[in-house]
Amino acid sequence: MDSVNEYALSGIVVEDNDLVFEPNCLEYRIPKQDEIRIRVLAFDPKAKVIVEGEAVEQPEDHRIGSICPVKIQREKCDGVVEIQVHAASGKGVRFYKISF
């Protein structure tokens, strides 16, 4: 597997928002709101994904719709969500941010 893909996302969905995932984009901005619900899918199903300190279990069917969304309240993160993707090999980590 390409080493960058070991710690990359293959999808981000923010419920009720028009965010369009771009594989090379690490920062996103969506309209200001009190709370968002996020689903994130790692390119490598063995990678460890963390959203604001909460591990996100990757589904066996490797479909983003199968992931339980993580609910994030604006007041708890000052409107910036950090997503970490850690390679299963331990050889890399990538950070994504969503501002809202």
Q: What is the pTM of this model?
A: 0.93
pLDDT of 1 strictly over 60 = no
Q: Bridge-partner residues for 98, per DSSP?
A: 28, 81
pLDDT of 2 strictly over 80 = no
Q: Give the mean model confidence (pLDDT) for residues 50-67.
A: 96
Task: List, for residues 7-16, the tens digit of each pLDDT value.
Answer: 999 999 999 9
Task: List, for residues 3-51, the tens digit of each pLDDT value.
Answer: 789 999 999 999 999 999 999 999 999 999 999 999 999 999 999 999 9
Instruction: Record the tokens describing residue 51, joined without a space.
Output: 């959203």
Alpha-carbon distance of 100 to 34, in angstroms, equals: 9
